[in-house]
Amino acid sequence: MRGNFKQLPFRKNKGKIESNKDALKRFAKIKDTKKKIKENKKTTDKKVFEFKMYRNKNGRKMELYKKANDKIEMIDFEIRKLERKLENEFIAEQQCNTKTKFINDKIVTKKLSEKREISDREALLRNRVNDLKYKKAELLKFL
């Protein structure tokens, strides 16, 4: 009785008595999974963060939605930042292409004869914004 008493908490009630070997195998599997989870919590790899225990498929879906929404928010933030830079670039070039004079306490602005050309920096910023918008559209397809 005393020898079998140690394994009793690990036995599964399946309507039949589980043998000691089966109980110990199952208990070993449980220990291994617990060790893996502890090791994965210590390390900081991207693969480790994906290794989580979910109760059902809906929990996994919710986690994926959260990750996708975070990525979309980051992309939106970058787009807003780049658009502000584009506006500043546009304003700076407009100021360079106009002359302001003060005649009798009145401000007179005169456009120069040269047409405004898109600078290289502005073109790069616009391409970056378009790339980010394309990424965002791809992420929204999956949601």
pLDDT for position 36: 79
Q: Which tokens in the block code for residue 7?
A: 């394994």
DSSP 116-128: P---HHHHHHHHH
User: Between vectors from CA 95 to CA 90 and to CA 97, what angle results, nearest 5°?
Assistant: 95
pLDDT range class, residue 48, cuts 50, 70, 90: very low
Do residues 10 and 23 make contact, with C-beta atoms less than 8 angstroms apart?
Answer: yes
Is the pLDDT at 45 greater than 60, yes or no?
no
- pLDDT one-digit tens code per residue, 70-108: 888 888 888 888 888 888 877 777 767 677 677 777 767
- For 10-33, write each residue's pLDDT tens digit: 455 555 666 777 778 878 888 888
* pLDDT, mean of residues 134-142: 79
